Amino acid sequence: MSSAPERLRLLREQRNMSLVSLAAALGFKDHQTLSAIELGERRLTADELVAAARHFDVRLDYFTDPFELAGEGKFSWRQKSAVPADLDAFEAKAGRWIAAFRHLSRLRGNPVNSVMRRVGVTRNSRYEDAQAEGESIATLLKLGATPATQLLRALEDDMDTLVLHVDAVRGVSGAACQLTELNCILINRHESEGRRNYDAAHEFFHLLTWANEGMQPLRIEPDKSSELKEKGAKRVEELAENFAAALLMPSGAVRAYLDAHPLPAETGIVAWLAPAAAHFKVSRAAMLWRLVALGHVKRAAADRLRDSVPSSNVAADKADLPPRFSRRFVDTPGWGIEQGHLSARRAATLTPGQRKRVSGGALTPATARSRFANPAE
């Protein structure tokens, strides 16, 4: 967890305030005093902390609460037409989940140290380079012939990356969150299985390349129809798409499937895509364009078939929804309550629908796990 002075600095930068302007607002004689506080060279007094909380209109414990990220996390949201205010509120909520997991895991003695292999993709890389890295990572993590079935396990077990299936706000498919010591991927569990898998692989790419020069994704990713003109932003997303496709559908696995299920003439491709996409657990559109990238289908044919291929933007059937959050996450607050590190009231603030249920009896570790996985609607 960051210190109060560091959280003050992060909040100042988040609100686009200079050292000079905040120093004046807090009543310091000069901005050097505030600079010394932010650098840890001078103690931040209680009165100064109260003044900062009042100025920024935040709770006083914002600067000390281990259950708040307080500006530490960098998010990149995969979304289309999400309401900005809803997205801001949801990001704050997601930050509390991640911060709680980090804090309680450390108390539990579990290491929180996401391991990320550097992937040498830059904005100047070719799409083929991103595809090659996707296949390389699939091999490195031993994801097998159908990588989608093993990807989430590998992310959590091998990369120590927290993966959460969430009830996201409208318009949000998923997100990557990058911290110094912990990475997290959020996935909208109401999306179709193929879309969820693609989003996980896409956000994985961002975590692998975040530190590369020019590769840090925007907080709000541009969608394919975006008119965003910022140099290179859409290029980063296109590279992520190519990486995700190759990771989920490695060329060797696709060739093996084609050997067993030969590709028909163009008129039969749309029907052929359904079982092929189901095998790789991706959308039919993703399957089609992977075949194009590998040279099995001509681009002109894919363009003709485009309108006949169902969209991936289909909600999942309720029976197919994955559980909320993840088993690794849900077990953590239960342990926290059991050990006295997490109160029932605090647990109630971490997930929707819990406040009203706290008064219904003592919140035990078992009920905490159940309620996190199945919060009240």
Global pTM value: 0.86
What does the pLDDT average to over 134-156?
96
Gap between the terminal Cα atoms of the chain = 31
Backbone angles phi, psi at 186, to 5 degrees: -105, 135
Distance, CA of 168 to CA of 157 (rounded, Å): 24
Query: For residue 343, what pLDDT is reported?
Result: 84
What tens digit of pLDDT does each residue of 67-93 get?
A: 988 888 899 999 888 899 999 999 989
Q: Do the Cβ atoms of 104 and 333 come closer than 8 Å?
A: yes
d(CA 58, CA 68): 12
Model confidence pLDDT, tens digit, residues 349-376: 776 554 444 444 555 666 656 656 565 4
What is the per-residue pLDDT for 33? 95
Is CATH 3.40.50.720 correct for 74-248? no
Specify the CATH superfamily of domain 4-63.
lambda repressor-like DNA-binding domains (1.10.260.40)
- Give the DSSP H/E element, type plus range, for residue 229: none
> Would you list the DSSP string of 81-143?
S--HHHHHHHHHHHHHHHHHHHHHHHHHT-------------TTS-HHHHHHHHHHHHHHTT-
User: Do 4-63 and 74-248 show the same overall fold?
Assistant: no
Strands 172-178 and 74-79: antiparallel
SS3 of residue 319 by DSSP? helix
What percent of the chain is predicted at pLDDT more than 70? 89
Answer yes or no: are the C-beta atoms of 90 and 233 closer than 8 Å.
no
Q: For residues 242 and 351, which has the higher predicted lDDT (pLDDT)?
A: 242
CA distance 67 to 306: 46
What mean pLDDT is predicted for residues 331-353? Answer: 81
Q: Where are the domains of the chain?
A: 4-63, 74-248, 252-314, 323-373
CA 62, CA 291: separation in Å to the nearest integer? 50
Q: Measuring CA to CA, which residue among 131, 78, 146 is closest to residue 282?
A: 146
- Say if residue 218 is exposed, middle or buried (CB neighbours under 10 Å; 0-12, 13-18, 19+): middle
Closest CA to 246 of 113, 134, 368: 134
Of 285, 283, 290, residue with least CA distance to 257 = 290
Question: How many CA atoms within 13 Å lie on the side-chain side of 210?
Answer: 21
